[in-house]
Amino acid sequence: MAKQKTLHDAFYETLKDVYYAEKQSVKALKKSAKAAEHGELAQAFETHAEESAQQVERLTQVFEIIGKPARAKTCEAMQGIVSEMEEDLEDFEGSPAADAVLAACAQAVEHYEIARYGTLKTWASQLGYADAAKLLDETLQEEKKTDALLSKIATSINTAGTPGDDAEPPAEPPKAKGKKAA
């Protein structure tokens, strides 16, 4: 009979997953920084790439705390987000919406990481790994801060990426089909 999985097993597997994801995030952020036209966005990507490299180091410390080797496990979610980002970079390259799309892709990464770090922090606390929980919380707070900064930057990018006053305003929005107006 197979050994029953425990919360410790789930913690370790998720830690390996986020370790992989964070390493991929560093690469994606560097690529995004080069592709971004908006100076503040490029700087945010560069700063968070450096921060993410530190987060990888923190994860290595968490592996040490739990007495397990620092190993990455392919993270399908991060592969999907990065693949979507690369597709969007190609599709929107040179367009006024390119930076808005880049910021949106970066936020998808941040939201995934926020979810994972929140879970890992909770599990570390439940498993009695107070030092690991502290390290994971430090990263969680950085991810939330980056997400808030990207939201702030996206507001100006999205405004800059919309048609100007010389563009024809859209006609009336299409009416919903299949429902009668009240």
Between CA 153 and CA 145 the distance in angstroms is: 12
Between CA 116 and CA 119 the distance in angstroms is: 5
The DSSP line for 63-95 is HHHTT--------HHHHHHHHHHHHHHHHHTTS
168's tokens = 């024809």
> What residues in the chain have per-residue pLDDT under 70?
159-182
Contact 22, 113 (CB under 8 A): yes
What is the pLDDT, as a whole number, of residue 58? 97
Beta-carbon count within 10 A of 42 CB: 17
Assign residue 5 a region: left if phi > 0, alpha if psi is -120 to 50, beta otherwise? beta
What is the pLDDT, as a whole number, of residue 2? 82
pLDDT tens, residue by residue, 42-64 = 999 999 999 999 999 999 999 99
By CB atoms closer than 10 A (0-12, 13-18, 19+), residue 83 is exposed
Between CA 16 and CA 70 the distance in angstroms is: 7
Give 161's contacts (C-beta < 8 A, 6+ positions apart).
95, 96, 97, 98, 99, 100
pTM: 0.83
What is the pLDDT, as a whole number, of residue 149? 95
Between CA 44 and CA 181 the distance in angstroms is: 46
